[in-house]
Amino acid sequence: MSDQAQLLPGTLDLLILKAVSLGPLHGYGVLLRIAQITGQALLIEQGALYPALFRLVRQGWLKAEWGTSENNRRAKFYELTAAGRKRFREETESWNRLAMAMTTALAASAEEV
Amino acid sequence: MKLLSYFRSAATRLFHRAEVADDLEQELRSHIEHRADDLERSGLDRATAERRARVEFGARERYTEESHEALGGNFLETLLRDVRLAVRKLRKSPGFLIAAVFTLTLAIGANAVVFGVMDGLVLRPLNVPDSQSLWGTVYGVDAGFQSYPNYLDLRDRNHSFEDLAAFSFVFAGLDTGNDPSLAAGFAASGNYFDVLKIQPFLGRFFHSSDERGANSAPYLVLTHAYWHTSFHDDPGVVGRIVAIDKHPFTILGVAPPEFRGTLKFISPDFFVPIVNQDQFATTRTLTDRGTTHSVFETLGHLRPGVTPAQAVADVNAVGAYLAATYPKELSSRTYTLARCGLTSFGGPVRAFVAALMLLAGLILLAACANLGSLFAAHAADRSREVALRLALGSSRQRILRQLLTEALLISLCGGAFGVMASVALLRKLGAWQPFAGAPIHIPVNADASNYVVAFVLALVSGFLFGIVPVRQVLRANPYEIVRAGSAGRLGRRITLRDVLLVTQIAICAVLVTSSVVALRGLERSLHSNFGFEPRNTMLLGVNLTVGGYGMEAVLPVQKRLIDAMGTIPGVDKVGLVNNYPPLVYASAGRENVFKDETRDLKQSNVAVMPYSYDVSPGYFEAAGTSLLSGRDFSWDDTKSETLVAVANREFARILFGSVTNAIGRFVRMQDGRRIQIVGVVADGKYLSVNEDQQPALFMPSLQSPASSAYLVLRSQRDPQELGAVIRNKLREVDPALPGDIQTWNSMLGVALFPSRMATASLGVLEIMGAMLSITGIFGMAAYSVSKRLRELGIRMALGAKRTEVLKAALGRAVRLLAVGSAAGLILGIMASKVLAFIVYQATSRDPLVLGGVVVAMSLLGLLATWIPAQRALAVNPVILLREE
């Protein structure tokens, strides 16, 4: 547990969009998918997922529908809308730029300055 | 677009609130079950798995909350949920709810009523166009009275007013055909309606062009109210001829319903041209420059660009010109301007209404203080619930919002009830005619502004008392409270609640002080020396002009009346006074009196300006005015004899130094007549009960007959029964002569009306303040006793005496009471200076006042702490300790 990193503010939304972009998921499924694709490296309190999910739905990037899960339980499935797909691409690009900039900055040594 | 979709989403959520909440609930449950499935698969039993899943999920309440907010429509929705929760919570403690709503109803209602009165009396200008530039002139000291010739000069010589109108009062018998009845009217200058820029409801108004000299315009304009009551809205009245005091007048038209004359306290029945006003009087006032009787107020719109200060300078220049041109008739007096409607009463009325508003505001503040501590106690009792909710992840902000919602809900309820009660009361007040026969009414409004004020007050007070427990909640440490229970610490420090209570008691003490001061003042003015004895005195007003008599018949008929009334069994003395007796309708005029040796009778040589009355022989005995020296008039003091007069003590003191010096001496009147002082009577009150001692001069009515007079009858008989006998007697003398029969005491009502109203309104506020204080102290004492029951029980078990227990239980409340009362008493004494404007002899330097306040506050404290004290003493240590 202790080597799990705290989530940067604002990154949860992007992670959710990424998880859902790989296929429709219910809430718990989103969590599992994030854990899977991040290699369990991030700590997300389970309840914190839902306010973020609903925010994305209200912004029109996700749509939700009740269905039946693999456990044969009722669950609400989320998938990307067209706007959400576009948004996800933009967010990804801007994240990549930021990450690149951060990486470059942090790699800088005294000689390069 | 975004906004639109936000609202659409908000609306959908709002209407499908339950569905959404249900949906969310199901989704979260589904999540936990899925997690539990996984955990179960890893080897846990189902129950453990589910518990683990719930713990891992985190603060569920908080996430539910946040999810709701994320779903949109959060504001309205949370508000609704808060309101529903608040209603549920409040229903659980109906006592608290009722106490709080009742308190606020009283406090907000009182404020709305006082505001309505203030709005009607002070804030709202007269209901005429451009009332902002409408001003009246006040000339000298006598409330705007002046003479008609002066008015004409002022109208024509000033450069400040667009035009200047004038009016005076007419009380006359109006005969519409078969039933002559007394009506009150304004005698107005021809340009009156044009100056006011109003249009008739029906027919036409009279104009300047209708005035062509004295008695040239026998026209009549009715007020809408009088047209409604006396002519039953008959549109055919225009052109009809009616008789006013037997003179034929043509009805020209009807004034619009919203126009009730240019005085706020007095609503006339009709308007007649001022050039005809001498038809209703016995003296010719229209041409008399020296009189102060023929015009009550002049008024007009200031020209654009002219400031009130410039106008004052301008009219004073005219005044100086008049004083220089007519030195015999006029002395130099100063003009001031006053807002139309209240004339020179404006100052005191405004001061009093402002004071009343302040007191009402204090009441509301006291109510808030009261509710604030109630709320704090309520919140403290709920600290366990609050702690639980905090522990479950509810945010403090959310809990505070919940508390505020409760506070606002209560305050809005209180405001609603308060405004309903106040509007009902204001309607009653507005329709109230305190005196039959006198067109006096209280101008109050019950309209939208009241609702707005009540609503704002409700919101403000809700926030005020709602935030009292905020600190308490913000500081609450959930773990501590849940562990230790609600018994908690009871600090020795001075808490906010103590401060609130002291404030409230101080406010109450202010109210008690001022109302005791007012009561004492009123009591004194009722029992002060009027110079006559209003008890056991009946007045009979007869106007011989209405009866159709000529001037030559006045004296014989009056003598017949006096003799006839004297034959009524049980009537001891009968006398007569021309026009009105002292203290009735503030009607006495002043006379210029010179020393006998003065030859140049100009204003600057006037020795004394007494009020003058014309009275018959026997008047002093009938009125109960004691003759100090000399003699009363006799029936032989007729017109032909030497002119004689009776002075009051003040007159004798000013002119001759002493009562005995005055007898037999002469004075000179404005017209040069010499008058001999044949007697001196006791001092009295003439225009109002709170005037300083004024000189007065009584002259024989035999030497200056007047057709309108009051007979004064002294009798021990029951007024009701005596009234009927008097009426029969009057019919024997002349069956067609109407008479106004009242006790002198009831006619004094008009003179005492302002102080009575002031005392009554203060009394009401005081009772409310006292009730609030009692509940406040009671609440505090009861709460502290209930919190300390266990401690008290231990003390008793250890052998404490009853007095010691009481001291422990209530010492704090009593100390607070003492501090608050002392502060309030001092403030109250300072505040009663304002009262002195209205209530006669309102002084706080009176041992009875101090004593009264102390006794009242102690009683209040005793009353409020009685039940808690009983409860503290009834503590049974054994039962109590076992329970815990």
- CA dist B611 and B641 (Å) reads 23
Most A-contacting residue of B31, B63, B392, B394 (CB-CB within 10 A), to test interface:
B31
Higher pLDDT, B217 or B85: B217
Would you say residue B646 has pLDDT above 60? yes
Would you say residue B490 has pLDDT above 50? no
Nearest chain A CA: its distance from B56 CA (Å): 7
Q: To 10 degrees, the CA torsion angle through B237, B239, B244, B247?
A: -160
Stretch B861-869: mean pLDDT: 82
Residues 245-274 of B with CB under 8 A from A: none
Give the residue extent of every domain in chain B: 2-72, 131-340, 348-526+753-883, 537-715
B745: Cα separation from own chain's centroid: 22
CB of B72 within 8 Å of a chain A CB? The answer is yes
Token pair 């450069």 is at which residue?
B159
At B368-401, the pLDDT tens digits run 888 887 777 777 777 777 777 776 666 677 777 8
Nearest chain A CA: its distance from B394 CA (Å): 14
Contacts of A29 in chain B (CB under 8 A): 34
Higher pLDDT, B93 or B263: B263
Would you say residue B489 has pLDDT above 50? no
At B443-480, the pLDDT tens digits run 776 778 888 888 898 899 888 888 877 776 666 666 66
Contacts of B62 in chain A (CB under 8 A): 47
Nearest-CA neighbor of B241 among B228, B252, B226? B252
Q: What is the largest CA-CA distance in chain A?
A: 61
The residue of chain B nearest to residue A68, with distances taken between CA atoms, is B30
A54/B71 touch (CB, cutoff 8 Å), yes or no:
yes
B56/A46 touch (CB, cutoff 8 Å), yes or no:
yes
Residues 398-427 of B with CB under 8 A from A: none
The number of beta carbons lying within 10 Å of the beta carbon of residue A35 is 16
Q: In this structure, are residues B387 and B394 in contact, taking their beta carbons and an 8 Å threshold?
A: no
Q: In this structure, are residues B125 and B328 in contact, taking their beta carbons and an 8 Å threshold?
A: no
Quickly state the pLDDT bin for B491 (edges 50, 70, 90).
very low
At B714-752, the pLDDT tens digits run 999 998 899 999 989 998 888 878 788 888 888 887 777
Most A-contacting residue of B1, B3, B30, B40 (CB-CB within 10 A), to test interface:
B30
A47/B71 touch (CB, cutoff 8 Å), yes or no:
no
B35/A55 touch (CB, cutoff 8 Å), yes or no:
no
Q: Is the ipTM of this complex over 0.90?
A: no
What's the mean per-residue pLDDT of chain A? 85
pLDDT for the residue A2: 43
Contacts of B69 in chain A (CB under 8 A): 51
Integer Rg of chain A from CA: 16
What's the mean per-residue pLDDT of chain B? 81
CA distances, B340 to each of A94, B132, B133, B265 (Å): 73, 10, 10, 12
Nearest chain A CA: its distance from B69 CA (Å): 8
At B347-365, the pLDDT tens digits run 777 877 887 888 888 888 8
Contacts of A27 in chain B (CB under 8 A): 27, 30-31
Stretch B869-878: mean pLDDT: 77
The residue of chain B nearest to residue A27, with distances taken between CA atoms, is B31
- CA dist B44 and B704 (Å) reads 120
The residue of chain A nearest to residue B73, with distances taken between CA atoms, is A58
Quickly state the pLDDT bin for B761 (edges 50, 70, 90).
confident
The number of beta carbons lying within 10 Å of the beta carbon of residue B798 is 8
Nearest-CA neighbor of B192 among B227, B157, B217? B217
Beta carbon pairs, A and B, within 8 Å: 67
The residue of chain A nearest to residue B58, with distances taken between CA atoms, is A47
- CA dist B790 and B786 (Å) reads 8
Contacts of A13 in chain B (CB under 8 A): none
Would you say residue A8 has pLDDT above 80? no
B70/A52 touch (CB, cutoff 8 Å), yes or no:
yes
At B287-297, the pLDDT tens digits run 777 776 678 88
**Which residue in the set A28, A48, A55 is minimally distant from B34, CB to CB?**
A28
Q: Which fold has domain A5-107?
A: Arc Repressor Mutant, subunit A (1.10.10)
Looking from the CA of B746 toward its CB, the CA atoms found within 13 Å total 14
Nearest chain A CA: its distance from B59 CA (Å): 7
The string of DSSP letters for B89-147 reads HHHH-HHHHHHHHHHHHHHHHHHHHHHHHHIIIIISPPSSTTGGGEEEEEESSSTT-B-
A51/B70 touch (CB, cutoff 8 Å), yes or no:
yes
Would you say residue B3 has pLDDT above 70? no
Please, is B584 exposed, middle or buried when counting C-beta atoms within 10 Å of its C-beta (0-12, 13-18, 19+)? Answer: buried
Contacts of B37 in chain A (CB under 8 A): 71, 73
Stretch B511-538: mean pLDDT: 81
The residue of chain A nearest to residue B68, with distances taken between CA atoms, is A51
Nearest-CA neighbor of B340 among B294, B308, B364, B372? B308
Nearest chain B CA: its distance from A65 CA (Å): 11
Stretch B557-583: mean pLDDT: 92
**Which residue in the set B30, B34, B57 is minimally distant from A47, CB to CB?**
B57
Would you say residue B657 has pLDDT above 70? yes
Contacts of B33 in chain A (CB under 8 A): 71, 73
**Which residue in the set B23, B30, B58 is minimally distant from A75, CB to CB?**
B30
pLDDT for the residue B826: 84
The residues on A that touch B, with CB distances below 8 Å, are 26-29, 45-48, 50-52, 54-55, 57-58, 69, 71, 73-76
Residue A27 tokens read as 């809430």
Q: In this structure, are residues B138 and B316 in contact, taking their beta carbons and an 8 Å threshold?
A: no
B27/A50 touch (CB, cutoff 8 Å), yes or no:
yes
What residues contact residue B212 under an 8 Å CB cut-off, 6+ apart?
none
**Which residue in the set B33, B60, B66 is minimally distant from A51, CB to CB?**
B66
pLDDT for the residue B844: 64
CB of B66 within 8 Å of a chain A CB? The answer is yes
Quickly state the pLDDT bin for B343 (edges 50, 70, 90).
low
Angle between helices B383-391 and B396-431 (to 10 degrees): 140
pLDDT for the residue B139: 65
Please, is A97 exposed, middle or buried when counting C-beta atoms within 10 Å of its C-beta (0-12, 13-18, 19+)? Answer: exposed
At A73-87, the pLDDT tens digits run 889 999 999 999 999
Higher pLDDT, B654 or A6: B654
Token pair 């009306």 is at which residue?
B753
Would you say residue A12 has pLDDT above 50? yes
First to last CA, chain A: 38
Q: In this structure, are residues B312 and B336 in contact, taking their beta carbons and an 8 Å threshold?
A: yes
**Which residue in the set A47, A58, A73 is minimally distant from B34, CB to CB?**
A73
Stretch B535-564: mean pLDDT: 87
Stretch B681-692: mean pLDDT: 85
Quickly state the pLDDT bin for B283 (edges 50, 70, 90).
low
Contacts of B34 in chain A (CB under 8 A): 26, 28-29, 69, 71, 73, 75
Would you say residue A43 has pLDDT above 60? yes
Let me know the angle formed at the C-alpha of B303 by B302 and B306, rounded to the nearest 5 degrees: 80
CB of B674 within 8 Å of a chain A CB? The answer is no
Quickly state the pLDDT bin for B677 (edges 50, 70, 90).
very high
H or E element: which one contains B444? none
At B124-150, the pLDDT tens digits run 778 788 888 888 877 655 545 578 888
Nearest-CA neighbor of B10 among B84, B87, B69? B69
B67/A51 touch (CB, cutoff 8 Å), yes or no:
yes
Quickly state the pLDDT bin for B836 (edges 50, 70, 90).
low
Would you say residue B17 has pLDDT above 70? no
Core vs surface per residue B761-774: b (16+ CB within 10 A) or e? bbbbbbebbbbbbb
Most A-contacting residue of B2, B6, B28, B34 (CB-CB within 10 A), to test interface:
B34
CB of B70 within 8 Å of a chain A CB? The answer is yes
